[in-house]
Amino acid sequence: MPEPTPLTILSTMKSALKSIGVPAPMEKSREAFSVLVSTIISLRTRDAVTRKVSRQVLRAAPDVDAMISINLAELKRLLHPAGFYRQKAGQLKRISAILRSDYDGRVPDSMDSLLSLPGVGRKTANFVLGMVFGIPAICVDVHVHRISNRLGLVNTRSPEETESALQKLFPKDEWAGINHIMVRFGQSICRPVKPLCDECPLKDRCPSRVQEKV
């Protein structure tokens, strides 16, 4: 039997998921500002909390001007269930001020401009570029980094190395969807601790498979 291609592996992951849904940062809105805000909220925060907090923050501050106007203490209160909520509150206020002064209130659609915003790293920038603007980009988080290495697709030490390696394996029209598929797969099957290897459709080709003790 021929070795499965990276595209076949990605398709197998997607087929194994009962529901692919949409990424948590996009459940409230697909507008660039809302997605950027929700993606920042999602950092080091569980999806369920991201959904709840994003809804209440964006209800109170749905656009740049509203985010600038909202009281910082109130924003911290709304963000409180999320991790690093104090830091995120300050970042969202500063980002909004920069978007108003430098970008006419719009979220920029270039990597360099996004990375210049407070608290925005490559993961957030790639997510916004790929999911909002349709610009080919691979968002590498802990799930994508872990699963890509576990399956032997890449042999990398950092998310940046993983991003570069995956770009060479997949066509550009697949880049934006890689994160969501691998995140859902990593949450439900290829978990960080006690992965469900016996339920994994890729177990027969996975070099990292945890063999069940008998």
Residue 204: count of CB within 10 angstroms of its CB: 9
65: closest CA among 41, 109, 96, 39?
Answer: 96
Domains assigned to the chain: 6-21+138-205 (1.10.1670.10), 24-131 (1.10.340.30)
- Say whether pLDDT at 19 is over 90: no
φ and ψ at 3, to 5 degrees?
-65, 130
- Say whether pLDDT at 212 is over 60: no
Residue 192: count of CB within 10 angstroms of its CB: 11
Determine which of 70-74, 148-152, 173-177, 208-212 has the lowest per-residue pLDDT on average.
208-212
Which pLDDT belongs to residue 211?
Answer: 59
pLDDT in tens, 168-199: 999 999 999 999 999 999 999 999 999 999 99
- Say whether pLDDT at 214 is over 90: no
DSSP-derived letter for residue 19 is: -
pTM across the whole model: 0.91
25: closest CA among 108, 110, 119, 130?
Answer: 130
Q: How far apart are CA 194 and CA 43, in angstroms?
A: 23
pLDDT in tens, 61-114: 999 999 999 999 999 999 999 999 999 999 999 999 999 999 999 999 999 999
Share of the chain above pLDDT 70, in %: 97
The owner of tokens 């992951």 is 13
Cβ atoms of 183 and 144 closer than 8 Å: yes
CA 199 vs. chain centroid, Å, equals 24
The mean of the pLDDT values for the chain is: 94
